[in-house]
Amino acid sequence: MNDVASQPTPKGDSTSEAKTLQSDTPVIEDSEMDLGGSVEQSAVVETIDVSLLHVPHHDMKAAWPVLTSASTDARWIGCLKGFVDFELSKPPTGKLNITGRPSEVTAWVKDKKKHIVPSIKAGKYGKEWMGWWHNLQPPSRRDGDGVLNLRRVVPLDEWSKTLLKGGTAGIYTVIVALSWWVKTYPEDPNLWTCVDDVSWVLSQLLGAHQASKKRPADKVVEASTSRKRQKL
């Protein structure tokens, strides 16, 4: 995989330092993401108040400080905002595919100490995380030979079969696992490409979930209109 240029983020960021963030770093807009090549980007300046990002679920409370203090980079805080917005939309809960999941994540799921950041190895952990992320994607995002080439044209119904899962066993585990990488090796260029892609996926999951809630309501309106016409 080719490196993608990024701005390193210092280790040891505190929550107090992350209150109001502004970044001139380009953020991926709607485009094709390719970890094996280039990524089309357009510059977006964002200011995000991390103090407004409250833990979306009681069972996520123990690990929440780890997520909010992992980095002051606006790309990471933006990713967290996307996660909060998704969880607050009350998506269906469920478990993600664990094929290729890093062993550190499996151990964390079983451990009661959710606030502990495990020791991870440079290079190895990022590669394993990306492999897991690739396995979690809808079929239309992946190319035929299994190379990590994540496309950004996905039918809405594919999300519900893969990543549209809320709760502590859903995409939350991906966010937690990503936060360890962000906190420990912020200089890894592949990391920020992944953060941008997770942010995009979260926006798609939110849209897909909102669309699924709207469809039943539309059917009720259509049925009511049909009955009125029959009476006439």
pLDDT per residue, tens digit, the chain (232 aa), is: 444 444 454 454 544 444 444 444 333 344 455 444 333 343 344 677 887 899 999 999 999 999 999 999 999 999 999 999 999 999 999 999 999 999 999 999 999 999 999 999 989 999 999 999 999 999 999 875 544 568 888 998 999 999 999 999 999 999 999 999 999 999 998 999 999 999 999 999 999 999 988 765 444 444 445 455 555 5
Name the residue ranges covered by the structural domains of the chain. 64-213
Instruction: Return d(Cα 214, Cα 73) in angstroms, integer.
Output: 35
Instruction: Return d(Cα 26, Cα 23) in angstroms, integer.
Output: 8
Instruction: Return d(Cα 100, Cα 5) in angstroms, integer.
Output: 26
Q: Model-level pTM?
A: 0.74
Judge whether 65 and 15 are in contact, CB under 8 Å.
yes
Burial 191-216 (b: 16+ CB within 10 A, else e): bbbbbbbbbbbbebbbebbeebeeee
